[in-house]
Structure 1
Amino acid sequence: MLPPHELIEVFLLEESRKVDKTGCISLLGTIFEVQTELAGSKIQVRFDPHDLSVIQVWKDGQRYEDAKPMKLRDPKNRPKQDEPKAVMQPPKTGLNYVELLVEEQKRQTREAQGAALSRAMKEVNRS
C-alpha cells in the first residue's frame, strides 16, 4: 500500500525539456520559469496534465525548485520607444496657473493705478 503522495507521483507524466538561456521552458503551450542555473540544460519535468499548478523539475536524479508560470507584463503599460522610461506626471491640482497669473497682473495694475491716482490727488490738493 502506497501513501497518497507517492501514489500521485506514480501517475505523473514525465517529459524532457531544454531550458532556454532565459531560464524558461514551454509545456503544453504555457511558458514556465525554472532556476536560472539550469539555463541551457536538458531537464525532466514531471506533472499532472490536468493540473499544471505543480511542475516538478529534475536533472540527473536531483529535484530542483518547481517551475512557475511566467508572469508576462501588460504591453499596454510598456513605455513607447521614444518616451523616456520614467515619466513623472505632475499631480492635477485643478488650478489654471495662466489664469492665476493674469489675475495677479490685473491686481498689481489696479494697485499701481490706485497709487498713481492717490499721488495725483495729493498733488492737486497741495496746489
Structure 2
Amino acid sequence: MPSPADLRKAFLWSEFRTVTKTATVSLHGNSYEVDPMLTGTKVELVFDPFDLSEIEVRAAGKPAGKAVPHRLGRHTHPKASPEIPPQPAPPSGIDHLKVLDQTHTANTAKGIARSAPARPSPSRAPSPRWTRPGSR
C-alpha cells in the first residue's frame, strides 16, 4: 500500500517552461521567480494543480529549488530622494458657483433658457431627402 505522500507525488502535474532573462517562468497566468542560474534553460515545473503556492523546479531531471510567486513593485534607486507631493494651488477667491448662479438668473430674466435647443433659421432648414422612385 503506498503512503499518502507517495500518492500525492504520483498525481502531481508537470509542465515545461523556458526561464526568461529576468529569471521568471509563467504558469497558468501567474509569474514565478526561479534561480537566476537557470536563465535561458528549459525547466520542468512540478505542482499540485489545486495549490499553486508550492512549485518544484527541475532542470535536466534534477531538483533545482522552488519557484516563488513573482511580486511586482516600484523600482527606486537607493540614492533617489523621495517624491514630494505638489502643494495645492492657493484659492483664487472667486466663487465660481455664485457667478454661474448669477449668470443663470440674469439669462432667465431675459428669457434665455439654457435647456432650449437652438432653432434653425428658415433659410438653413434641411432640404427634403431624395428617394429613389419605387422605394419609401
- Structure-1-length-normalised TM-score: 0.59
In the other structure, the counterpart of 1:19 is 19
Structure 2: which 5+ residue stretches go unaligned? 85-136
Q: Match for 1:62: what amino acid?
A: K
In the other structure, the counterpart of 1:85 is 80
CA distance in 2, matches of 1:60, 1:34: 15
Q: How does 1:4-83 map to 2 (within 5 A)?
A: 4-73=4-73
CA distance in 2, matches of 1:53, 1:88: 35
Q: Which runs of 4+ in 1 moved over 6 A?
A: none
Q: Deviation at 1:88?
A: 7.7
CA distance in 1, matches of 2:66, 2:6: 17
* Identical positions, percent: 37
CA distance in 2, matches of 1:11, 1:40: 28
Higher-helix-fraction structure: 1
CA distance in 1, matches of 2:55, 2:82: 39
SS in structure 1 of the partner of residue 22 of structure 2 = coil
CA distance in 2, matches of 1:44, 1:62: 9
In the other structure, the counterpart of 2:91 is none
CA distance in 2, matches of 1:13, 1:88: 46
Q: Deviations over 1:8-61 (max 9, x none)?
A: 011111110000011100000000000000000000001111110110101112
CA distance in 2, matches of 1:23, 1:88: 30
Q: Match for 1:87: what amino acid?
A: P
Structure 1: which 5+ residue stretches go unaligned? 90-127
